[in-house]
């Protein structure tokens, strides 16, 4: 179990893919970095980093902001490939969420990743201040409850690898997101593993940070291996490690039994998704390798070389060299079939997993403002109001003065009408009944009947156009932003002072780029929300 990436690459390895993934990994540790810093961190030439970044921008995985490189939501596709392949968030996430609701404590699902523990699902109920792991974060096995369960099945070689890592990095500097512990967790680890093996559950009594406690139970795969650990996380203000175990173990074990049933139920094989042939980029072999990595999520059983070549449109020999390179770096494993490993989550997933809806929208709104030279915003419904969650103003002196957090009555605002139109008809009518429309200008529509008619038109035409109703001289066009399920989760608009340009002309000019912006945001939301909820601040 030596770290695969430190071994000598096989002769067929694709150098640009190795270097490109090194840049992606380095970006993932900070999410946003200058090209020069990336060159220093990876030991690559600045010109190489520039070419890699240009490629990653062309593939949509990175956004370049001057000399800064920022991970784009699309980089979550790699982690999604692993999470889709392993199926645990999709199959078990709802049961973990239900357990968290029942016991009112946080519940997480983690999987073994060499001598570490990788989080794949979080149902968070944190009241006391404590550390929260992101999906994709890696914990050393000796810190936390799940590692003791996974290590219960380790071979002597795996224990050697763990000791080797401890010797090479005694202070755990490779795990920057948790506080150092001075080695006490490692000293007690072998004993805790033995105790966990005998008890069938493991305890974390403040192994990560003071006051944070957890218990974890193993989830065995149908083949008897420990596929995952289900952890209940609490705080010393509510429990001791002992009372936590006594209180929640029955419910935890019940959930694990249900999860085992779910895993044992065969699911129909899915058709591997085509990821499409990679586009022409400065470093073609990097783009091809990334397409291969993304394709590995295509089937829960793993893919044959032929299936990978088909899904990416690449020649078999090219796909094979990419697969060997990914395997060498520890991102793919090859049994009978090729599959992605949990380590893939290091490539941007954890760094991006807490992107909020407004953070996803902002760069797209900025692009729109650059195109149309009008202010652009995003809002969500807050009872009968809309609440601005993102706004990119134009630099024009006469710009409309609205900031994030601003509220307007939904019935009179273009985004409000789009959001109301996105509700199921009963909810829409109920919400309007709770609204007391007032004439904000002499053009504001205030009749319930008329508003319902307008909302039905907005629903069918897919946009709302409001002029002089919210404020004299204010014109705004809005369209919906939908999630994976088709539900309207937000609205985006462009707004400006009424100009001499006729309304119909303004609509014809602004609607196509506004729709394209909504589509770009939706595409990102689908990637970020594939295996977890996208949060709205």
Dihedrals phi, psi of 495, to nearest 5 degrees: -135, 150
Asked if 204 interacts with ligand PHB (CB under 6 A), we say: yes
Residues 6+ apart with CB under 8 A from 440: 409, 412, 469, 470, 471
- For ligand PHB, the closer of residues 145 and 365 by Cβ is 145
Least Å distance, CB 160 to ligand PHB, is 24
| 218 is an interface residue for ligand PHB by CB under 6 A | no
- Residue 189, interface with ligand PHB (CB under 6 A)? no
85 binds ligand PHB (CB under 6 A): no
Angle between helices 15-30 and 316-328 in degrees, nearest 10: 50
Is residue 138 near ligand PHB by the rule CB under 6 A?
Answer: no
Which member of 78, 82, 133, 338 binds ligand PHB (CB under 6 A)? 133
What the block records as the tokens of 414 is 């273009």
The three-state DSSP-derived secondary structure of 464-521 is: EEEECCCCCCEEEEEEEEECCCCCEEEEEEEEEECCCCCHHHHHHHHHHHHHHHHHHH
Query: Given the complex with ligand PHB, which of 40 and 253 has the nearer CB atom?
Result: 253
Region of 143-151, 252-260, 266-274, 372-380 interacting with ligand PHB (CB under 6 A): 143-151
Q: Give the start-end residues of each E strand in 162-256.
A: 202-205, 212-220, 226-235
Contact region with ligand PHB (CB under 6 A), list: 141-149, 369-377, 386-394, 474-482: 141-149
Looking at residues 12 to 51 of the shown chain, list those that interact with ligand PHB (rule: CB under 6 A).
Answer: none
Determine how many CB atoms are found less than 10 A away from the CB of residue 268. Answer: 5
Picking from 297, 344, 289, the residue whose alpha carbon sits closest to that of residue 15 is 289
Q: Which residue reads 């889709």 in tokens?
A: 84
Give the three-class secondary structure for 377. Answer: strand
Please tell me whether residue 394 binds ligand PHB under the rule CB under 6 A.
no
Does 146 help bind ligand PHB (rule: CB under 6 A)? Answer: yes
Could you tell me how many residues of this chain bind ligand PHB (CB under 6 A)? 11
Q: Which is nearer to ligand PHB, 145 or 390 (CB)?
A: 145
144 binds ligand PHB (CB under 6 A): yes
Quote the least distance from Cβ 366 to ligand PHB, whole Å.
34
Q: Would you say 89 or 144 has its CB closer to ligand PHB?
A: 144
Distance of CA 364 to the CA centre of its chain: 18
Task: Confirm or reject binding of residue 145 to ligand PHB (CB under 6 A).
Answer: yes
Q: Write b or e for each residue in 290-316: b if 16 or more Cβ atoms lie within 10 A of its Cβ, otherwise e.
A: bbbbbbbbbbeebbeeebbbbbbebee
In which region does residue 70 sit, left (phi positive, over 0), alpha (psi from -120 to 50) or beta (all else)?
beta
Chain centroid to Cα 285, Å, comes to: 26
Site residues for ligand PHB, 417-446, by CB under 6 A, read: none
Residue 208 binds ligand PHB (CB under 6 A): yes
Residue 353 is a binding residue for ligand PHB (CB under 6 A) = no
Listed in sequence order, the residues at least 6 apart from 260 whose beta carbon sits closer than 8 Å to its beta carbon are 219, 220
In 410-484 the beta strands, taken as DSSP E runs, fall at 464-467, 474-482
Residue 203 or 474 having the CB closest to ligand PHB: 203
Rounded-to-integer distance, Cα 390 and Cα 371, Å? 18
Which pair of structure tokens corresponds to residue 52? 């890699």
What is the C-alpha to C-alpha distance for residues 10 and 367, in angstroms, rounded to an integer?
Answer: 43
- For ligand PHB, the binding residue among 24, 214, 245, 510 (CB under 6 A) is 214
Provide the minimum distance between the beta carbon of 208 and ligand PHB in the complex, in angstroms, as a whole number: 6
Answer for which of 42, 55, 80, 108 binds ligand PHB (CB under 6 A) is: 108
| Span of 139-147, 176-184, 287-295, 393-401 interacting with ligand PHB by CB under 6 A | 139-147
- Closest to ligand PHB by CB, 139 vs 454, is 139
- Which of the stretches 140-148, 165-173, 398-406, 514-522 binds ligand PHB when contact is defined by CB under 6 A? 140-148
- With left for phi above 0 and alpha for psi between -120 and 50, is residue 206 left, alpha or beta? left
Question: Interface with ligand PHB includes 201 (CB under 6 A)?
Answer: no
> Nearest approach, Cβ of 252 to ligand PHB (angstroms)?
12
Name the residues that contact ligand PHB, by CB under 6 A: 108, 133, 144-146, 204, 208, 214, 216, 231, 233
């Amino acid at each position: 179990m030596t770290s695969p990436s430190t071994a000598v690459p096989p002769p067929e390895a694709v150098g640009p893919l190795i270097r490109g993934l090194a840049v992606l990994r380095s970006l993932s540790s900070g999410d946003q970095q200058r090209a020069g810093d990336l060159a220093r961190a990876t030991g690559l030439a600045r010109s190489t980093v520039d070419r890699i970044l240009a490629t990653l921008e062309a593939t949509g995985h990175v956004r370049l902001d001057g000399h800064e490189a920022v991970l784009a939501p699309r980089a979550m596709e790699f982690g999604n490939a692993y999470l889709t392949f392993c199926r645990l968030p999709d199959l078990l996430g709802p049961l973990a969420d239900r357990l968290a609701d029942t016991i009112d404590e946080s519940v997480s699902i983690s999987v073994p990743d060499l001598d570490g523990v990788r989080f794949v699902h979080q149902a968070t109920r944190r009241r006391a201040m404590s550390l929260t792991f992101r999906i994709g974060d890696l914990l050393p096995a000796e810190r936390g409850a799940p590692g003791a369960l996974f290590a219960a099945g380790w071979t002597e070689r795996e224990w050697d690898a763990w000791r080797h890592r401890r010797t090479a990095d005694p202070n755990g500097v490779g795990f920057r997101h948790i506080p150092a512990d001075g080695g006490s967790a490692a000293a007690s680890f072998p004993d805790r593993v033995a105790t966990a093996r005998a008890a069938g559950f493991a305890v974390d009594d403040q192994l990560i940070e003071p006051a944070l406690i957890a218990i974890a139970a193993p989830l065995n795969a149908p083949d008897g291996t420990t596929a995952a650990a289900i952890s209940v996380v609490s705080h010393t203000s509510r429990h001791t490690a002992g009372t936590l175990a006594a209180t929640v173990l029955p419910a935890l074990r019940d959930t694990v039994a249900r999860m085992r049933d779910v895993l044992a139920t065969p699911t129909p094989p899915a058709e591997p998704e085509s990821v499409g042939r990679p586009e022409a980029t400065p470093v073609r072999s990097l783009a091809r390798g990334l397409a291969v990595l993304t394709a590995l999520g295509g089937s829960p059983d793993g893919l044959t070389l032929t299936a990978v070549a088909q899904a990416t449109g690449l020649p078999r020999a090219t796909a094979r060299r990419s697969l060997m390179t990914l395997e060498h770096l520890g991102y793919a494993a090859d049994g009978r079939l090729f599959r992605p490993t949990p380590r893939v989550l290091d490539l941007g997933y954890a760094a991006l997993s807490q992107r909020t809806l407004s953070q996803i929208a902002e760069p797209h709104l900025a692009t729109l403002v650059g195109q149309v030279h009008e202010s652009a915003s995003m809002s969500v419904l807050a009872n009968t109001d809309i609440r601005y969650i993102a706004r990119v103003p134009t630099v024009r002196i006469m710009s409309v003065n609205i900031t994030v957090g601003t509220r307007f009555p939904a019935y009179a605002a273009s985004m409000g009408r789009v959001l109301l139109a996105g509700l199921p008809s009963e909810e829409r009518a109920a919400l309007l009944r709770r609204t007391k429309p007032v004439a904000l200008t002499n053009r504001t529509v205030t009749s319930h009947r008329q508003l319902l008619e307008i909302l039905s038109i907005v629903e069918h035409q897919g946009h709302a156009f409001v002029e002089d109703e919210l404020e004299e001289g204010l014109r705004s066009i809005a369209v919906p932003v939908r999630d994976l399920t088709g539900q309207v989760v937000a609205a985006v608009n462009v707004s400006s002072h009424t100009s001499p340009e006729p309304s119909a002309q303004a609509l014809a000019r602004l609607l196509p780029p506004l729709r394209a912006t909504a589509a770009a945001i939706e595409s990102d939301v689908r990637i970020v929300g594939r295996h977890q909820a996208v949060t709205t601040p």
